[in-house]
């Protein structure tokens, strides 16, 4: 069974609204920080994705620490 990369997935999930706002601002020609323009509203999604991504990173770190502890014994 292949292991799920919690740390990498958590980091990508946490910053995905920022990347989405940047990419859509390129196509629309507006500032990604302008909330009235549409692309800036994606940044508000970080209020959800940052905590969830942080939890995923913590789970990944705990799995890594526990896995190393089991290999030593």
Question: Domain extents for the chain?
Answer: 6-72
- Structure-token pair, residue 32: 């990604």
Residues ≥6 apart with Cβ < 8 Å to 18? 42, 43, 46
pLDDT at 1: 53
Contact criterion met (CB below 8 Å) for 30 and 73: no
Structure confidence by residue, pLDDT tens digits, 9-68: 999 999 999 999 999 888 888 888 887 777 888 888 999 999 999 999 999 999 999 988
């Amino acid at each position: 069974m292949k292991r799920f990369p919690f740390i990498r997935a958590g980091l990508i999930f946490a910053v995905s609204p920022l990347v989405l706002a940047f990419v859509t601002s390129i196509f629309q020609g507006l500032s990604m920080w302008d909330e009235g323009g549409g692309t800036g509203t994606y940044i508000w999604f970080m209020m959800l994705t940052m905590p969830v991504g942080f939890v995923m990173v913590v789970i990944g770190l705990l799995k890594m620490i526990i896995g190393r502890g089991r290999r030593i014994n």
